[in-house]
Structure 1
Amino acid sequence: MSQTVLVVDDDPHIRQLLVFALEKAGLATREAEDGEAALTAVAEAAPDLVVLDINMPKLNGLDVCRRLRAQGELPILFLSSRDDELDRVLGIEMGGDDYVVKPFSPREVVARVQAILRRARGAAAPAAANAVLSHGRLSLDPESWTARWNGQEAPLTVTEFTILKTLMGAPSRVFTRDAIIDRLHGPGFAITDRTIDSHVRNLRGKFAPLGGHDVIETRPGVGYRLGACLGQAA
């Protein structure tokens, strides 16, 4: 069965362009013309992913994301109508999995949508890769896409989970931001270092209330690696 993408944008031309490209790639689509309509559409039948414009009437994309994140971890790809780094970083920090800046190539949007959906499915991962990973008080279950600290679940987005799984796969290795981007999207995707920094900041913010103050360690000038995961204050 085809996975469903909800396309949310107040510009009907953009919606039509994206719907055509996504359906050509074999995905089912639905549309919403503003933030309120998007929330109604998700409540009626949750899609597998939302392509969400940031600048919209009634409710902007950031507000929609905030409400969706209060309900669960539905994957979100943001569309930004201008090359505004603040918008993009805010979107990522609120729980968006990725973003595309307008004007965009429909092929790029489709590629990023497919990358997020692949990570969410985990369908191509071999059985051995789905074994539960443990390090200190942290555990990841790739089969159920759940992360726990001392048995308490931390609700992670698809992208956050994938970053943490990457670090746990080689706990002694320091990953550059470029290496993390390659694991997320494959070589050649243009994403700023600050986007990865925002995802890491989100991860730390989700584990800190559970006592996980040392989940990810920063190596200045190099990148990130898995922390001791013993609950020690940073």
Structure 2
Amino acid sequence: MEKIMIVEDDIKIADYLCSYIEKYGYEVNIATNFENIMATFRDVQPNLLLLDINLPSYDGYYWCRQVRKESICPVIFISARTGEMDQVMALENGGDDFIMKPFHPDIVMAKIRSQLHRAYGEYASKIEERKLILEGLTLYPERLELRFGNEVTQLTKKETDVIESLLERYPRVAGRQDLLEKLWDDQVYVDENTLNVNMTRVRKKFQEIGIEDAVETVRGAGYRIRTTWKKGEV
């Protein structure tokens, strides 16, 4: 069952959307912790996000940017803002579509179905999915998923980018500076400890699928994938 997450601080609108969408067989989750939308997002792992712009603490543009750091799931903005720039900003901040309030529920459902089809259904199937394979290890960048044998683990967007870089560089070393520039090119300065933290997380992801010591630290240079797992740890 596909999951829809609603981020809307008007509880009447949220409940109305929830009950209407559920009639079509979807599982619906309404976010209530507006201080940390991402905690709910990670817990729910929705297939699609309905997102208001005017929210407590941080607006919908902010939360959409946070989602895009970890997920490529469709995001549809629903807002009372009617200006053209609001719609432009919604798209530029990572949104896929925009619905103006007041809305007709059938329009909402049509847009939900359309985005789900594009992301996961008949339209998406016409495009060959990208995957990187090395010695039985398979990375699915669009799914944010890493597989080894029968084991699978879900990744964040940054974890996916790190592993993708390592696999693309193999057997060469992925330089620290190259990784920093690829992953955080929107920031003026990043503490290198941030990369260390992310590499620790990546190593844990490999451990989750049964691979120990998958990433080698090359002192003074960067990181490199090790393929000793081909002998079989799982």
Q: TM-score, normalised by structure 1?
A: 0.53
Q: 1:26-57: per-residue Cα shift (whole Å, max 9, x none)?
A: 11100013643431111213110100001111
Moved over 6 A (4+): none
Aligned residue pair count: 138
CA distance in structure 2 between the aligned counterparts of 1:15 and 1:91, rounded to whole angstroms: 20
Aligned to 1:41: 40
> Tell me, what secondary structure is at the counterpart of 2:15?
helix
- What is the CA–CA distance in structure 2 between the aligned matches of 1:5 and 1:39, rounded to whole Å? 14
Counterpart-to-counterpart distance in 1, 2:81 and 2:89: 14
Structure 1 residue 23 displacement after superposition: 0.5
| 8 Å contact kept, 2:29–2:44 | no
Unaligned runs of 5+ in 1: 131-141, 148-154, 157-208, 210-234
Aligned alpha-carbon RMSD (Å): 2.9
Q: Which runs of 5+ in 2 are unaligned?
A: 132-140, 143-184, 186-234
Q: Tell me the secondary structure at the aligned position of residue 92 of structure 1.
A: helix
Provide the TM-score with structure 2 as the length reference: 0.53
Counterparts of 1:65-214 in structure 2, within 5 Å, are: 65-122=64-121, 124=122, 130=126, 142-144=127-129, 146=130
Q: Which residue of 1 aligns with 2:10?
A: 11
Deviations 1:156-211 (A, max 9, x none): 8xxxxxxxxxxxxxxxxxxxxxxxxxxxxxxxxxxxxxxxxxxxxxxxxxxxx9xx
- Secondary structure at the aligned position of 2:69 is classed as helix
User: Helix, strand or coil for the counterpart of 1:103?
Assistant: coil
8 A Cα contact 1:35 1:60, kept in partner: no
Instruction: After TM superposition, give the deviation of residue 125 of structure 1 in Å.
Output: 5.3
Partner of 2:29: 30
> Which residue is equivalent to 1:54?
53
Q: Using the alignment, how far apart are the partners of 2:98 and 2:21 within structure 1? A: 16
CA distance in 2, matches of 1:57, 1:93: 21
| Structure label with greater radius of gyration | 2
Q: Which amino acid aligns with 2:25?
A: G
Measure how far apart 1:96 and its partner are: 0.6
Instruction: Return 83-92 or 31-40, whichever deviates more.
Output: 31-40
**What corresponds to 1:136 in structure 2?**
none
1:5 alignment partner, SS class: strand
49-58 or 32-41, which deviates more: 32-41
Contact 1:49 1:76 in 2 (8 A): yes
Q: Distance in 1 between matches of 2:128 and 2:17?
A: 31
Matched-pair contact (CA < 8 Å) for 1:11–1:33 = no
Counterpart in 1 of 2:201?
none
